[in-house]
Every structure is written in structure tokens, then in C-alpha cells.
Amino acid sequence: MRCGESVAVVTGGTGGIGTSICEALAAIGFAVVVGYGKSRQAAERLATKLPGKGHMALSTPVTDSDGLQAMARIVHERYERCDVLVNCAGTTRFVAHSDLEALDDRLIEDILATNVRGCFASLRALVPLLRVSTWPGGGVVVNISSIAARTATGSNVMYCASKAAVDNMTRSLARALAPAVRVNSVSPGLVDTEFVKSLDQGWRDEQAARTPLGRLASAEEVATAVIAVVRDLTFTTGAIVTVDGGRPLH
């Protein structure tokens, strides 16, 4: 199925996972809004390289609700529709779970504002357009979560908590917005992005060894799951779709 004039907004579109999602959506015919926070030039370069037409880079400041409303107005003025929102913007920093002092209030607030409130605020800004989407199964929201929500192991305690909140919010919003809008999470394990590849090789090997399928996820595999949720799983809402190689089974 190709999507003709359908439109997708991807927050955090210039990150390793976000880039793959933008590319995958463009490949099946979406006009993609490559959302960015600070990486304007990278977003503009990506928008020009995507297959198809109608793409644009647009500021999606997920911690600024007024800025998100301005973004939604531009999407409406340019496209008059939004069929898909992918909430991919996120932040974290490695802090040992036992080091409570290092997980300072400023970092906690940054993580929660970006990872949790940012997802909600982005949806809130675009929901009038999503409600009237003619995409099969209705408008679609995909929140990029993490298996840290389930395993409680990850970059820090608050990151894990933020992703658990995202999954809970996914279920609540799926119920609240049905039947016009479907809301699902895609929940990867550790993804072998360029950032992860820059980390200690021994640590990466250890993480892969702890995964039943014996490797890390690729950004492309996360994007494939997003496409499945958008295009194929039209009777699925409130679900947490895992791309984790069976890691919680370890």
C-alpha cells in the first residue's frame, strides 16, 4: 500500500532511529516532516535526500507547547492534514542506578519533560489533524519507547521510569482517542546507532550476549516496526510492539 498524499510528522527526526523512520515512511510514499530540536541543518539535509516529494524540515520543540502549536499550524497550512505522528524525540544520560546523587533534579526534569510530556504535547498539538485523517484505520501515533520500561535496566533510573510512563500513556490515549486515532508504542532493545557504536566495544558485546538473538537491534528494524504499526496493524491500538531480540527473556 502506498499512501499518496499522506503526511507524517517525526519528532527527533535527525537521530539514528529517527532518520531510519523518516526514510522508511518516505519510501512508502509519505510526505515527511523531519522534526528537529537543535539540528536544523541536519534536518534540512535529510529532508532533501528522502525519496519522493513534499518533505520538509520543521522545528518540533517538544518541551515548548507554544512552539508545538506553531508547528501544527504550519503543518495545517502546508499540507492541510497529518496522518501519522511518530514521537521519537528523547533524551537521557548514563548514570549508575545506585548513584542517586548524580541523578540530579535538573536531569530528572529534562528527561521527564522531553520523553513524557513531549510525547503528550506533540500529540495534543496535532490531534485535530489526526482526528480527521482518512488513513486506513484512522490517524496513527507511534511513541518510541524502550524495553527499559519493562526491565527497569537502562541508562538511568529516571529514563526507565520515563519509558514506563510513555507505555502507560500510550494505553490511556489509545482508549481516549479511539476510534479516530490509533496510539501504539514501538519498544526497542538497545539499538546499534552510531552513538552506541562509539561506546566501549566490550560493553556492547556484553549487551548482545545477554540478548537471546545474540545481537543488538538496528535502527532499520525499529523503522520496520513503525511501518507495520502504521500500514499493516490497522486493528491494533494501545499495544506495545517490541523490537528487542527477546532481551527480557534472559
* Domain contains 208: no
* Domain contains 210: no
* Domain contains 116: yes
* Domain contains 203: no
* Domain contains 67: yes
Residues with Cβ within 8 Å of 198's Cβ and at least 6 positions away in sequence, in order, are none
Domain of 33: which CATH number?
A: 3.40.50.720
State the amino acid at position 242 in one-letter form: T
How much is the CA Rg of the chain, to the nearest whole Å?
Answer: 17
3-state secondary structure of 144: strand
> What pLDDT, on a 0 to 100 scale, did the predictor assign at position 134?
95
pTM of the model: 0.94
Residue 3 pLDDT > 70, yes or no? no
What confidence tens digit (pLDDT) does each residue in 195-241 have?
788 778 888 888 889 999 999 999 999 999 999 999 999 999 999 99
* Domain contains 250: no
* Domain contains 249: no
> What pLDDT, on a 0 to 100 scale, did the predictor assign at position 4?
54
Q: Give the number of other Cβ atoms within 10 Å of residue 53's Cβ.
A: 8
* Domain contains 185: yes
The residue range of the domain holding 178 is: 7-192+219-242
79 is catalytic: no
Residue 2 pLDDT > 50, yes or no? no
What confidence tens digit (pLDDT) does each residue in 37-96 have?
999 999 999 999 999 999 999 999 999 999 999 999 999 999 999 999 999 999 999 999
Q: Which of 30, 79, 120, 159 is catalytic?
A: 159
Split into its structural domains, the chain has a count of: 1
